[in-house]
Amino acid sequence: MTIRLSDHFNYRRLLRFVFPSIIMMVFTSIYGVVDGLFVSNIVGKTAFAAINLIMPVNMIFGGIGFMLGTGGSALVAKTLGEKRQEKANRYFTMMVWVTILVGIVISIVGIAIMRPVSIFLGADEAMLSDCVIYGRIMMAFNAAFMLQNVFQGFLITAEKPSLGLAVTVAAGVTNMVLDALFIGVLKWGVAGAAIATGLSECVGGIIPLIYFLRPNNSILRLVKTKLELRPVGKACVNGSSEMVSSVTSSVVGIIYNFQLLRYAGQDGVASYGVLMYVQFGLAAIFIGYSMGIAPVIGYHYGAGNHGELKNLLKKSSLLMIGLGAFMVVTAQVFALPLAHIFVGYDAALLGMTVHALRISTIAFLITGFNIFASSFFTALNNGGISAAISFLRTFIFKFAAVLLLPLLLHLDGIWWADVLAEIFAFLISVIFLVTQRKKYHYF
C-alpha cells in the first residue's frame, strides 16, 4: 500500500513511512564507519587520528548540501500541499542545479587550502601527509557528496523513500567492498579510504540524478527552469539549521580535538574518533526519522491541517524520548565490544574509549527530541527558530561545555560536554515549542 504525504498517520503508518529514511541514514553512518575500521586496524592509530582530525573540514563544506536538501524539500513539500505542482517542480530543479555548481566551486577551493588548514588544525609531521591526502581526495568528490545529501530529502518528498534506501544501500555496499579492496588488499592506506568513500558518494548522488532526469512515476520532475534567487534564498534560510548543525558540529569537533591533544594527546583524538562514529550511528536513527517525517509535516502545514500537525508532533516526541532511553541502556551495555572493534589492539586506548562512551552516550536520552524539534521548525518553513536550536545545541552549549568542564573535571569534562549541552538544548527546544504553539496550532 502506497503511503501519501496527505494521509493521516497513526504509529504504524508513521513508522512504515519513515523506516526507509531511518535505515538510509543508519546505513550511511555504517559505511562512514567502515573507513575508520579499516584505517584503524590496518593502517594504524596515527592514520586513524589524521582522518578524524581533518574530517570536520570535509563536513563543513558538505554541509551546504544538507542545507539545500532540507530547506529545499521543506519548501517543495509546502508548495505541493498548496497544490502548486508546476512550481514545486521548478523549485526542485533549481535546488539540484545550484547544488552541482556550488559543489564544483567548493571542491576547487577545498583542494587548494587543505594543507594550510591541516597545519592550522594541529596536524603534526606524522599526521600531516595523511590529513592532506585524505582531505583533498574527499574534496574532489564534494559535488557528489552534496548531491547525495540533497536527494536524501527530495526522494522522501517525491514519495520514493524506498528508492532512497536502495540507493543508499548501493552506495554503502560500494564503499565497503572498495574499502576492503583498496585498504585491505591493495594497501593504499588513507588514500584508498578516501577514494572508496568518494566513489560511493557518486553512486548515492548520480543514480537519483539520472532517475529524475528520465520519465518517472514520482510526484517530482526535473524540468526546464530559470534561476530564481528568491526561492533558492528561502530554501537556504529555511535549511540553515542543517547547515548550522553541520558547520558548528564540525567546528566544535575541531575544538574537541584541540582539547584532547592538550589533555590526552594523539590517543585522545583517536578515542574521540570512535566516539564520533558511535554517536553518529545512534544519531542517524533520529536524523533519519526527522528527515522522513519532515515532508509530511511540511505538506500538512501547507494544506492547513492543524490537527495532523498536532498528531505528528505528539507521536514523534514520544517516539524520540522512548527510543533515546533504549539507546542509553544499549550503549552502556555494549560500550566495551563497540570500542574493541576499533581500538582493541591498544589496552590503554580501549579503556579510555569505553569510559568516554559510557559517559557521553547518556546524552541520547534527549538528543532525539532536540534533533526532531529543530527539524520540525524547518518543516514548518521557520528556518530562524530551527537554526537557533541547532546553533545553540551544536555550537554555543557544546563550545562552552568543552572549554569550561575540563577546568573542573579534566579529561572527563570533555566526555561530559555533550550531556550538558543536550540538557540546555532540550530546555530551549521546549521553550520554542511552547511559545510558537498559537502561530502553528500544533497544541
Q: Return d(Cα 122, Cα 259) in angstroms, integer.
A: 11
Give the pLDDT band of residue 348 (cuts 50, 70, 90). Answer: confident
Q: How many residues does the chain have?
A: 443
On whether the CB atoms of residues 393 and 375 are closer than 8 A, the answer is no
pLDDT on residue 427:
97
pLDDT on residue 150:
85
- Give per-residue pLDDT as tens, 139-177: 999 999 889 888 988 888 888 888 888 998 899 889 989
Residue where the block lists cell 551495555:
333
For the segment 325-348, the average pLDDT, to the nearest whole number, is 90
Q: Return d(Cα 34, Cα 299) in angstroms, integer.
A: 36
Sequence-ordered list of residues with C-beta below 8 angstroms from that of 187, at least 6 positions apart, any chain? 42
Tell me which of 39-53, 299-313, 357-371, 384-398 is least confident.
Answer: 39-53
pLDDT over threshold 70, residue 244? no
Type of residue numbered 176 = M
Q: Which CA distances in Å does 379 have to 27, 36, 70? A: 24, 33, 8
Taking alpha carbons only, the member of 334, 94, 43 closest to residue 226 is: 94
HSE-CB of 168 using CA atoms within 13 angstroms? 28
Give the pLDDT band of residue 354 (cuts 50, 70, 90). Answer: very high
For the segment 320-344, the average pLDDT, to the nearest whole number, is 92
Which residue has better confidence, 126 or 181?
181
Q: Return d(Cα 332, Cα 432) in angstroms, integer.
A: 31
Q: What is the DSSP letter of 6?
A: T
pLDDT on residue 368:
95
Q: What angle, 0 to 180 degrees and rounded to 10, lies between the N-to-C axes of helices 240-263 and 229-238?
A: 40
For Cα atoms 124, 128, 129, give the angle at the middle one, nearest 5 degrees. Answer: 145
Other Cβ atoms less than 10 A from the Cβ of 202: the count is 17
For the segment 361-375, the average pLDDT, to the nearest whole number, is 94
Q: What percent of the chain has pLDDT over 90?
A: 43
Query: Hey, which of 58-72, 198-212, 382-396 has the most confident mean pLDDT?
Result: 198-212
Number of H helices, E strands in the chain: 17, 0
pLDDT on residue 241:
63
Give the pLDDT band of residue 188 (cuts 50, 70, 90). Answer: very high
Query: Hey, which of 9-13, 45-49, 345-349 has the most confident mean pLDDT?
Result: 9-13
Give the pLDDT band of residue 29 (cuts 50, 70, 90). Answer: confident
Q: What percent of the chain has pLDDT over 70?
A: 98
Q: What is the DSSP letter of 217?
A: S
Taking alpha carbons only, the member of 207, 71, 190 closest to residue 135 is: 190
Give the pLDDT band of residue 38 (cuts 50, 70, 90). Answer: confident
Instruction: Report the predicted TM-score, pTM, of the whole model to 2 decimal places.
Output: 0.76
pLDDT on residue 404:
94
On whether the CB atoms of residues 403 and 259 are closer than 8 A, the answer is yes
pLDDT over threshold 60, residue 432? yes
Residue where the block lists cell 524520548:
321
Give the pLDDT band of residue 44 (cuts 50, 70, 90). Answer: confident
Which residue has better confidence, 338 or 37?
338
Taking alpha carbons only, the member of 298, 297, 302 closest to residue 314 is: 297
HSE-CB of 288 using CA atoms within 13 angstroms? 26
Taking alpha carbons only, the member of 184, 189, 176 closest to residue 134 is: 189
Tell me which of 131-135, 235-239, 270-274, 398-402 is least confident.
Answer: 235-239
Helix (H), strand (E) at residue 137: helix 125-140
DSSP secondary structure, 184-238, as one string: IIS--HHHHHHHHHHHHHHHHHHHHHHHHHS--SSS---------HHHHHHHHHH
- Give per-residue pLDDT as tens, 296-322: 898 898 888 999 999 999 999 999 999
Q: Which CA distances in Å does 4 have to 340, 361, 383? A: 43, 35, 25
Instruction: Indicate the SS3 state at residue 305.
Output: coil
For the segment 206-223, the average pLDDT, to the nearest whole number, is 90
For the segment 90-96, the average pLDDT, to the nearest whole number, is 92
First to last CA, the chain: 30
CA dihedral in degrees (11, 16, 17, 20; nearest 10)? 140
Sequence-ordered list of residues with C-beta below 8 angstroms from that of 104, at least 6 positions apart, any chain? 143
Q: Which CA distances in Å does 140 have to 107, 121, 183, 200? A: 5, 20, 19, 13
Q: Does the CA dihedral 148-74-94-56 come out positive or negative?
A: negative
Tell me the backbone φ, ψ of residue 10, rounded to 5 degrees: -90, 180
For the segment 130-145, the average pLDDT, to the nearest whole number, is 93
Give the pLDDT band of residue 187 (cuts 50, 70, 90). Answer: very high
